[in-house]
Copies of this chain bind each other. A is one copy, B any other.
Amino acid sequence: MSESSYKRLDHGDIEAIRAIIGDDTRLLYGVDLPEDYSHDELGGVASYPDIVVRVKTAQEVSRVMKYAWDNNIPVTPRGAGTGLVGSSVAMEHGIMLDTTLMDSILELDEENLTLTVEPGVLLMDLAAFVEDHGFFYPPDPGEKSATIGGNISTNAGGMRAVKYGVTRDFVRGLEVVLPDGRIVEFGGKVVKNSSGYDLKDLMIGSEGTLGVITKAILKLLPKPEKTLSLLVPFGTLQQAIDTVPVIVKSRHIPTAIEFMERQVIVDAEEYLGKPFPDKSADAYLLLKFDGSSQEEVDAAYEAVADLCLEQGALDVLISDTEEREESIWKARGAFLEAIKGSTTLMDEVDMVVPRNCVNDMVAYFDEVQAAAGLRIKSFGHAGDGNLHAYLLKDDLSDEEWKRRLDVAMELVYKKARELHGQVSGEHGIGFAKKPYLKEALPEADLELMNGIKAVFDPKNLLNPHKIAQA
């Protein structure tokens, strides 16, 4: 990174921000600044902001942003800090806007099937609220303690994407503070919209580089009456994954199709201290079905269960009680933490490939393990082609880890390109995946992205050095 021309905060700046916020307990700086704010859940990318401002309203965001604009101070928005690519790390210091206190659910509109929320609402609280009211917000990323603002900023996907799509598909409108402090709205409660360029979808997935999200109008669905899961053991991982395109082709679309290997299950059992219903097989598919009636769900799962057995599944375990459902999906939700617990440090890959290429990619991880000399664990969304592979440091020296990691990453992303995949399915690019985005996209795409960034943020103040930037 070249020497910065940004202003570092001085006493006067802090006083000015204090005057805007008027509440000392919401300003964190100096010795009071917790270490947590210097990084997200990814190790290896760290930088401290000069100050953290725990904003409460769009007006506050606007006024702080305007002050930063006038004084050439970089600003990094941050939700719960659960990101995995260093997106919410203040690479150029300056002001960090922590939105977690903006955690109100503002309106449930049952006539328009929308939920209006502040950006700091946690995904788990949002899901519980709508379900209590008989509704359903389908996006279901594994990290339930992420904020909805963070989910929108990365276009988080999750397990139900097979049937329902991703966060983008459930955002109808956004209130956004632009880098110069102006507050704008993109979209609204309307179901259709062809009124000029799609600024709303441009904001979604822009990782806090184009504006600060201060409100979101989400689309809801009626809550499915019935759900049911199948845990399907296979003799080999390849057999399990080869079954996925067969299911997709069969036209009985499950809500989720996940794959997992025995070792990850064992790690999760250990992490949770709870037994998993089955770990006798080498590999598993975990399928979820939902629908408006028992008949609908039964018809779908029975057809898919038969298909799995035809493809060589060892058994089909039906989970139709809430208790059993919870034990299975809780284990699935703990995979990442369990893998983390099994090593000293890790990095991750979140590529997405066409769903009939998942097996090519997973098989290739074995080659990469051997070629690069490090352990790789993968699990993920077999039904939508989004693979999470975790590269583990174990007891490698820092230097050796860095070297082997680079080799592995190069190989993995090269293969993803060959399979017409993309660098990120749901975690974003942030700081850590920039080199791979550059290799993956044609120069024209990168030029367009940086051009768009300059339109929104001509002073390059908002979350610099992310996505397509140097």
A429 and B201 CA atoms in complex are apart in Å by 18
The 3 A-B residue pairs whose C-beta atoms are closest, nearest first, are A222-B251, A451-B455, A201-B201
Residues of chain A from 420 to 450 with CB closer than 8 A to chain B in the complex: 420-429, 437, 440-442, 444-446, 448-449
User: B386 contacts A199, CB within 8 Å?
Assistant: no
User: Could you list 14 examples of A-B contacts with CB < 8 Å?
Assistant: A111-B249, A184-B442, A188-B354, A189-B420, A191-B385, A191-B386, A192-B352, A193-B422, A196-B468, A197-B206, A197-B467, A199-B449, A293-B295, A293-B296
**Chain B contacts for A421, CB-based, 8 A:** 188, 190
Which chain B residues lie closer than 8 Å to A445 at the CB level? 184, 186, 196, 199
A193 / chain B contacts, CB cutoff of 8 Å: 155, 352, 422, 424-425
Q: How many copies does the complex hold?
A: 2
Q: Chain B interface: which of A12-20, A35-43, A160-168, A337-345? A: A160-168
Contact present for A354 and B292 (CB under 8 Å): no
Set of chain B residues within 8 Å of A440, measured between Cβ atoms: 195
A144 within 8 A of B: no
Q: Quote the shortest CB–CB distance from A138 to chain B (angstroms).
A: 13
Q: Are A190 and B353 in contact (CB under 8 A)?
A: yes
The answer for the CA separation of A260 and B131 in the assembled complex, in Å, is 35
Q: Is A245 an interface residue (CB 8 A)?
A: yes
Is there a chain B Cβ closer than 8 Å to A208's Cβ?
no
Task: List CB contacts (< 8 Å) of A128-179 with chain B.
Answer: 134, 154-157, 161-162, 165-166, 168-169, 178
Say whether B157 contacts A192, CB under 8 Å.
yes
Chain B residue nearest to A153 (CB atoms) is B194
Q: Which residue of B lies closest to A136 (CB)?
A: B251
A67 within 8 A of B: no
Number of interface residues of A (CB under 8 A): 92
CA A205 to CA B201, docked complex, whole Å: 11
User: Among A186, A188, A448, A467, which residue has the most Cβ atoms of chain B within 10 A?
Assistant: A448
Q: Mask for A218-229, Cβ within 8 A of B = 1, else 0?
A: 000111000000
Q: How far is the CA of A185 from the CA of B444 in the complex (A)?
A: 10
With a cutoff of 8 Å between Cβ atoms, the chain B residues found around residue A157 in the complex are 192, 194
Say how far A215's CB is from chain B's closest CB, in angstroms: 13
CA distance A143 to B230 in the complex (A): 43
Does A456 sit within 8 A of B, measured CB to CB?
A: yes
- Give a binary string over A290-303; 1 marks a CB under 8 Å from any B CB, 0 the rest: 01110110011000
Check B192–A386 contact: CB distance below 8 A: yes
Question: How far is the CB of A61 from the nearest CB of chain B, in Å?
Answer: 15
Q: What is the bound-complex CA distance between A157 and B186, given in angstroms? A: 19
- A356 contact set on B, CB distance < 8 A: 109, 111-112
Alpha-carbon distance A196/B350, docked complex (angstroms)? 13
Residue numbers in B under 8 Å from A451 (CB-CB) = 455-456
Cα of A452 to Cα of B457 in the assembled complex, Å: 12
**Minimum distance in angstroms from A458 CB to a CB of chain B:** 9
Asked if A248 lies at the interface with its beta carbon under 8 angstroms from chain B, I say yes
A467 touches B196 (CB 8 A): yes
* Of A191, A253, A385, most B-chain CB atoms within 10 Å: A191
| Chain A, 262-286, CB within 8 A of any chain B CB | none
**What residues of chain B lie closer than 8 Å to A428, measured between beta carbons?**
194
> Which residues of B lie under 8 Å from residue A437 when comparing CB positions?
195-196
Chain B residues near A425 (CB-CB < 8 A) = 190-194
**With a CB–CB cut-off of 8 A, which chain B residues contact A188?**
354, 420-422
Known: A199-B445, A222-B253. A194 touches B427 (CB 8 A): yes
Query: Any chain B CB within 8 A of the CB of A198?
Result: yes
C-alpha gap A251/B295 in the complex (Å) = 18
Using Cβ atoms and an 8 Å threshold, which residues of chain B touch A112? 245, 248, 354-356
B-contact 0/1 string along A231-250, CB 8 Å cutoff: 00000000000000100110
Smallest CB separation, A151 vs chain B (Å): 11
Q: Which of B191, B196, B293, B354 contacts A429 (CB 8 A)?
A: B196
Q: Is A204 an interface residue (CB 8 A)?
A: yes
With A199-B448, A251-B134, A295-B293 given, is the CB distance from A429 to B194 under 8 Å?
Answer: yes
Q: Is A182 an interface residue (CB 8 A)?
A: yes
